[in-house]
Amino acid sequence: MTKTIAVIQSNYIPWKGYFDIINMSDEFMLFDEAQYTRRDWRNRNKIKTPQGAQWLTIPVKVKGKFLQLINETEISEPDWTTEHLKTLRHHYARAACFKEVFPFLEDLYQQAAQETLLSKVNYVFLRGICDYLGITTPLTWSTDYVLVEGKTDRLLNVCHQAGATEYISGPSAKDYMDEALFEQGNVKITYMDYSGYPDYPQLYPPFDHAVSIVDMLLNVGKDTPQYMKSFQK
């Protein structure tokens, strides 16, 4: 029996490639026991505007918390969801699927507004968008597993605990991954290829692939899977 797993830190409304990896996995583990890094994807992502890409950022408590983990990171301003919805409405009101998708996003933001931890907020959007796309992959937490030291050793050990025979990784991990260790542990490594994504109808040219998936949802709605790799046979 084969099982594919991916282990990635949670991101805020991530881009389509993140959801492709989820859809390609039998289990997608959120590794939020990693240290929180500022100016990263954990609490922010990009949307399109007439002036170019713009960050949507969740305000979090960082003062004096240099070593805090992602799953310890707290939201600092409770009304952030109102501001994000206002920004999305302003820039995407003319998007083709705005009337269909915006109420769905509003519901996710209402759920997220009840959470005080960044990890839990990210989970709300990840699970909700997966459900919208028909992605049924279980989302689990690294806290459910015993973690050992060493980047490659830790990943391989988690694969063994989860009963995985294949590990899907982002391409940047090639820089540090000890592939020989995985081979010795009888776990295949597959690196995600982010090239060759098709363009979709997008507001505010020029086209930009590196934006949050909410851009694609608001522009093409239920047709979103047609523009993703993991849904193509």
Q: Is residue 97 part of a domain?
A: yes
Query: Once rounded to an integer, what is the mean pLDDT over residues 138-146?
Result: 94
**Residue 154 scores a pLDDT above 80:** yes
Q: Is residue 70 part of a domain?
A: yes
Joined together, the tokens standing for residue 153 give: 């050793």
Q: Is residue 232 part of a domain?
A: no
- The string of pLDDT tens digits covering residues 27-80 is 999 999 999 999 899 999 999 999 999 999 999 999 999 899 999 999 999 999
**Residue 117 scores a pLDDT above 80:** yes
Q: Is residue 101 part of a domain?
A: yes
- The string of pLDDT tens digits covering residues 81-115 is 999 999 999 999 999 999 999 999 999 999 999 99
Structure confidence at residue 176 (pLDDT):
85
In this prediction, residue 150 has a pLDDT band, given cuts at 50, 70 and 90, of: confident
Give the domain extent around 16: 4-227
User: What's the total number of domains in the chain?
Assistant: 1
Joined together, the tokens standing for residue 28 give: 């997608």
Q: Is residue 21 part of a domain?
A: yes
- The string of pLDDT tens digits covering residues 171-196 is 988 888 899 999 999 999 999 999 99
C-alpha dist (Å) from residue 220 to 135, 215, 232 = 17, 9, 17
**Residue 233 scores a pLDDT above 80:** no
Structure confidence at residue 1 (pLDDT):
86
Q: Do 42 and 52 form a contact (C-beta atoms < 8 A)?
A: no
State the Cα–Cα distance between residues 213 and 45, nearest whole angstrom: 9
Q: Is residue 233 part of a domain?
A: no
